[in-house]
Amino acid sequence: MQRLEHLEHLDRHLVDELAQVARESVREELREQARGQRRKAALYAGSGAAALYAGAAVALAVGLALALALPGWAAALITAVILGAVSYALRSAARPGAPSRPAAGRTTAGGAPVPPVPSTPPTAGVVPPRPDTPRS
C-alpha cells in the first residue's frame, strides 16, 4: 500500500513537471511570435507615417501648381475639394455595406436575387389560394 502511494506521488510530481515544461515552452513560443508581430507593427506604422507625409507633399505640389494660374485661395480651395472627393471615394470603397451596383439588380451574399417588395401590404387573416389547386 505504501508503494502505491509512493507511485501516485511520483505520478503527480511527473505530471506537474510536464505541465510546467509545456507552459514554459508555449510561453517562449508566444514571446517569439509577439516579438515578430511588434516588429511588423512598427514597420507598418513607419510606412503609414511616410505615406502620410508623401500624400501631404503631393497635395502641396498640386496646390502650388494650381497657384501658378489661380489666386492662392482658389488653388487651396480646389486642392481641398479634390482631397475631400478622394477621401469620400476611399471611404465609400471601404464600407462593407456600400452598394456597388444599382438597387434594381440586388443580390444576396450568395448571389441569389432579392425578391421585389410588394406594392401593397398583406391583408391580415386572408390566405391567398394556392395556384396549383382548382377553384370550386
* Degrees, nearest 5: CA angle 67-70-71: 80
Residue 68's pLDDT is: 92
The 8-class DSSP code of residue 127 comes to: -
Cα separation, 117 vs 104, in Å, equals 11
Cα separation, 58 vs 61, in Å, equals 5
**Cα 29 → chain centroid:** 27
Kindly report the pTM of this predicted structure: 0.43
The tens digit of pLDDT for each residue in 23-43 reads 999 999 999 888 888 888 888
Residue 61's pLDDT is: 92
Residue type, 43: L
User: Grid cell 517562449 — which residue?
Assistant: 28
Residue 37's pLDDT is: 87
**Cα 59 → chain centroid:** 28
Chunk the chain into consecutive blocks of 10 residues (it has 136) and report each block's average pLDDT, rounded to whole numbers: 70 86 91 87 87 90 91 89 86 70 58 76 70 66
Residue 90's pLDDT is: 81
CB within 8 Å of 114: residues ≥ 6 apart: 106, 107, 108
CB within 8 Å of 64: residues ≥ 6 apart: 75
